[in-house]
Amino acid sequence: MAAITTGLGSRLVSTDTQAKAFQELPVISLARLASTDPKERKALAAEAAINSGFFYISDHGVPQSVIDGIFEQAKEFFALPAEKKMQMDMHNSPAFKGYQPLKGENVDPANRGDVHEAWDMGDDSQVMREGKKNGNQWPSKTDLPEFQPKLQRAWDEIMALGKRLFPLFALALDLPEDYFADKLKSPGSTMRILHYPPQFGPMDSKEIGIGAHSDYECFTLLLQHGDVQALQVLNGAGEWVEAPPKPGTFVLNIGDQLQLLSNSIFKSTIHRAINRSGVERMSSPFFFGLDYDAVLEVLPSCVTEERPALYEPIKAGEYVEKRLAETYV
């Protein structure tokens, strides 16, 4: 066992990189999300809350052609020469948008760099903190003419899905469905495309696809390309459960912001990825956070005398920036 540092304290995890699955994550259909019967929506929220942490969602409404568009473009993007990708170096952007090469990121401070490359985008109108505009860095239209329109279309679709999911979390916390609406005017979100080369031979547990970590926003909607197993999720017993790709689904996981707001009723689940498949792997997470200027504060309904507030208030943008700065230094 090792202690993993998260923005909300430390957690114990197994260090065995060969850990096997022993439990499946559930698939939850979002069909009832559109129900006009509030009881149906509440039942769906309860199901999601019971499995809070990590599950697949189906019937999410994002067209498959849009999802295919992300990975078709991601494949071309990662095949660009290294110098072209480095022209979009994330360090040029005040808010961590752009390209990051292999080992340019290290989410687990105990590790030596993550074995993936990535390109991150946000919404150009978002300001992480005064003077810190997102600064998206797109590949040139000559190299990849379809990249920006396809990724932007995917952003819009997944953003719309994310906004539809907030009422569920509100319901699960016994709040009015529109509770978060005024904190979602321009949600502080990031979408990434990730490429994990396969890792062969004996493994160094400190150099894996992405080290053990929790995500920084409210929740993450993750797409996994093809049928390559790599993602692993930490269960309550401190053991790793595999989360293989399932066609037609996103993986949904709770992040730090919901853990903070709910005073740890929702847990920001630790996960990692290790690509031992022998072939390339791509994925695309969308991190869905509250407006950067919204204050993250433990909800009064989640505080009792026996369970005092565990966290100090902090602005969403400040929290995300702090965590990203630790990751990319």
Ligand X SMILES: O=C(O)CCC(=O)C(=O)O
Chain residues that interact with ligand X, rule: CB under 6 A: 192, 194, 210, 215, 222, 230-231, 271, 273, 283, 285
CB closer to Fe ion, 120 vs 215: 215
Residue 213 to residues 114, 165, 199, 255, Cα–Cα distance (Å): 11, 23, 20, 10
Q: Which residues contact 223 (CB under 8 A, 6 or more apart)?
A: 67, 70, 71, 250, 283, 284, 285
CA dihedral of 89, 94, 98, 100, whole degrees rounded to 10: 50
Partner whose binding site includes residue 211, from Fe ion, ligand X, none (CB under 5 to 8 Å by kind): none
Strands 27-29 and 54-58: parallel
Q: Which residues contact 322 (CB under 8 A, 6 or more apart)?
A: 7
CA 105, 267, 244, 28 dihedral sign is: negative
CB closer to Fe ion, 215 vs 293: 215
Partner whose binding site includes residue 283, from ligand X, Fe ion, none (CB under 5 to 8 Å by kind): ligand X
Burial category of 141 from C-beta neighbours within 10 Å (exposed 0-12, middle 13-18, buried 19 and up): exposed
Stretch that binds Fe ion, among 10-18, 23-31, 207-215, 243-251 (CB under 5 A): 207-215
| Closest to 25 (Cα-Cα) out of 232, 173, 284 | 232
Q: Which tokens in the block code for residue 70? A: 């992300």
CB of 251 to Fe ion, least distance (A): 10
Instruction: Rule CB under 5 A: say whether 256 interacts with Fe ion.
Output: no
d(C-alpha 165, C-alpha 80), whole Å: 35
Partner whose binding site includes residue 231, from ligand X, Fe ion, none (CB under 5 to 8 Å by kind): ligand X
Partner whose binding site includes residue 194, from ligand X, Fe ion, none (CB under 5 to 8 Å by kind): ligand X
CB closer to ligand X, 17 vs 263: 17
Give me the 209-228 binding string for Fe ion, x by CB under 5 A, dash otherwise: ------x-------------
CB of 194 to ligand X, least distance (A): 5
Partner whose binding site includes residue 253, from ligand X, Fe ion, none (CB under 5 to 8 Å by kind): none
| Closest to 282 (Cα-Cα) out of 199, 198, 217 | 198
CB of 66 to ligand X, least distance (A): 19
Partner whose binding site includes residue 212, from ligand X, Fe ion, none (CB under 5 to 8 Å by kind): none
CB closer to ligand X, 212 vs 294: 212
Which residue of this chain has its Cβ atom nearest to ligand X in the complex?
283
CB closer to ligand X, 38 vs 226: 226
What kind and span of H or E run contains 136? none
Number of residues that bind Fe ion (CB under 5 A): 1
CB closer to Fe ion, 215 vs 256: 215
| Closest to 12 (Cα-Cα) out of 225, 236, 194 | 236
Q: Which tokens in the block code for residue 40? A: 């149906």
CA 171, 174, 176, 181 dihedral sign is: negative
CB of 56 to ligand X, least distance (A): 13
CB closer to ligand X, 67 vs 173: 67
CB of 14 to Fe ion, least distance (A): 17
Binding site for Fe ion (CB under 5 A): 215
